[in-house]
Amino acid sequence: MKVIASTGKEEIATVYILELDNGKLVECVESVQPPLPRHEKWVLLVSTLFGCPVGCTMCDAGGFYQGKVTAEGILSQIDFLVRKRFSDGNIPCKQFKIQFARMGEPALNPAVLDVLSVLPGLYQAPGLMPSISTIAPASCGDFFDSLLEIKHHYYDNGRFQLQFSLHTTDEELRHLIIPVRTWSFAKMSEYGDKFFSPGDRKITLNFALARNVPLDAGILRQYFSPEKFLIKITPVNPTYHAVENRIASYIDEQNMCTRDQMIETLRAQGYDVIISIGNMEENQIGSNCGQYLRTHLNAPEKLGDGYTYPLVAQSQNQ
């Protein structure tokens, strides 16, 4: 594996472009979440696909699709990031979160399941918590059946985070935002009932919420129990595809209110609601969800509010 380039800031996030042994490129990220120090929470994001075939309207990773990353390729990203910080594999972080979310829909790659099965034995990491964020592709029932078994076997008592990316409660509009066949809300709810056990983290319903896009608490309440599901609302990050598709974020740095009518209605329905904005410098670094450095490098006209940190060429073998 070869490190092609990196960009970022030590105390926030660093993105790496890696060339794997097959000559293809992936991106991976390590980050912290200020004000929490690294020993409290350390987050890795790894790629599961070479590009992504889905093409969500706000995501720059759509396109460039060249297939699935092998289990060895996913593990090599994790090990590269781990050994840079903790060369002996002893990870003393209270929460060591690995998100299979840098590039690619994880449910489209069965190798993710192989990685989840071996991870607990690779490091001394009592805080290990994998995170799968998924659009729930309709064709991936076998993946989710296996994920259910792996989670119950290896990651009980709150040591796994599952997120469904919804983005709106209008299912027809959702299929425009996510232009592939996905599970219905009813199917997600049915699966969540099987996935959730007492002591688990609640399953996250994630909304990268755009302006004038419906988020109806009543519709959510028809399908998703507040005892098993919570709501996370994030900004639509500044990406080339968001600009191209004229998608403006409902939440931004200037609009950080946590008590508007929509959010109060969700809470009145019994939901825990998280407003997750994060450090705005991550947009300049290009480490946030939906951002992808290769799209930036190929863009003839650059964004003004994203991907502004310099990319440093490295070309060193690991």
The residue ranges of the chain whose pLDDT is under 50 are none
Residues whose CB is less than 8 angstroms from the CB of residue 176 and which lie 6 or more positions away in sequence, other chains included: 57
The CATH number covering residue 74 comes to 3.20.20.70
Residue type, 119: L
Number of structural domains (the chain) is 1
CA dihedral for 174, 288, 314, 132, sign (positive or negative):
negative
C-alpha distance across the termini of the chain, in Å: 6
- The pLDDT value recorded for residue 64 is 74
Q: What angle do CA 149, 152, 156 make, to 5 degrees?
A: 160
The residue range of the domain holding 199 is 2-317
- The pLDDT value recorded for residue 152 is 95
Q: Where are the beta strands (DSSP E) in the chain?
A: 2-9, 13-19, 25-31, 41-45, 95-99, 128-134, 161-165, 203-208, 229-234, 273-275, 312-317
The pTM score is 0.92
Distances (CA, A) of 285 to 196, 268, 291, 311: 35, 37, 9, 9
Residue-wise pLDDT tens digits, 3-19: 988 888 989 999 998 99
Residue-wise pLDDT tens digits, 109-132: 999 999 999 999 999 999 999 999
- The pLDDT value recorded for residue 300 is 67
Alpha carbons within 13 angstroms on the beta-carbon side of residue 314 total 17
CA dihedral for 23, 179, 284, 169, sign (positive or negative):
negative
DSSP-assigned letter for residue 201: P
